[in-house]
Amino acid sequence: MQFILDNLSIILAMMGTGVFAGVLAGLLGVGGGIVIVPVLYFLFQALGISADTAMVVATATSLATIVPTSVSSILAHKKKGNVDTVLLRHWAIFILAGVLAGSYLVTKIDGKWLTLLFGIIATLSALNMLIGKKQAITEGLPGNAGQSVMATSIGFFSSMVGIGGGTLTVPTLTFCNYPAHRAVGTAAAVGLIISLPAALTMLLVGTPPEDAPFATYGLVNLLGFVCIVPLTVLFAPVGAGIANRLDGVLLKRIFAVVLIITGVRMLAQLFI
């Protein structure tokens, strides 16, 4: 009981992060990582933690939270037949190679590089949301060599900024004239291939920074994990229910604008 009282403010903040991420995930269909990373990044700094440490711990903690939520998402999409197991069998080894390289790099480099990368990816993802319906760039997926590069890149960059499969996988597939519903379902499985090895690498290989928040092991904040995961799962259906009553396109555009502001603010913090 005393532990809870001593850490009540951070526990409540982490729980709020889980509620916020869950509602947005259900409301907009966005991956939790694109929400959790910036929220934790600014939250940790508000608690007096340096920006570099905040970014590294936010990245690792976000990936850890994606593991259980991606499992439930995979099961839901698999029931609808929207997970492309043939594509996954071909992509898995390349995604894993990218993830291991990216997550190991996270344990070694300065947090400012992760902030720069996240800011760029968040801003580009938001612009992609604002554009709305997009024409495919190619008639279909490239050959084996091209797909290998795509899969490795998705694993590498996703693990470095703490996001699951959806943010990069869905637009990559849809730009190749891949069915949108299959892209979303397959991306859920990609999220597990990314998040599990990445989180384990950062947990086991990473060294907690001197100013890391309480209960950080490796680079993963376990207090954040315990507080965020149940509430994300619990509130995702709430967000989905709200989405059925509101204009989803307008909501997604509003979120995209907020995400652009967030990405630009993170970039500005590096250079100003």
For residues 242 and 263, which has the higher predicted lDDT (pLDDT)? 263
pLDDT digits (tens, 9 = 90+) for 185-231: 888 889 889 999 999 999 999 999 999 988 899 999 999 999 999 99
Least confident of 86-90, 225-229, 237-241: 237-241
The continuous run of DSSP H or E covering 48 comes out as none
Mean pLDDT of the chain: 86
Give which of 95, 100, 113 is closest to 204, Cα–Cα.
Answer: 100
Cα distances (angstroms) measured from residue 202 to each of 159, 176, 238: 10, 32, 31
What pLDDT score does 120 carry? 92
**Predicted pLDDT of residue 185:** 83
Q: Indicate the pLDDT class of residue 23, thresholds 50, 70 and 90.
A: confident
Q: Rounded to whole angstroms, how far apart are CA atoms 185 and 75? A: 9
Q: Which two tokens stand for residue 54?
A: 């905040």
pTM for the predicted model, two decimal places: 0.88
Residue 270's pLDDT is 84
pLDDT, tens digit, 9 for 90 and up, residues 113-167: 999 999 999 898 888 878 766 666 778 888 889 999 999 999 999 999 998 877 8
Which residues are paired to 216 by β-bridges?
221
Count of all residues that appear for the chain in the document: 272
Which ranges of the chain would DSSP assign to H, the alpha helix?
A: 2-6, 8-28, 33-46, 51-79, 85-106, 111-131, 144-161, 166-174, 180-204, 222-243, 248-271
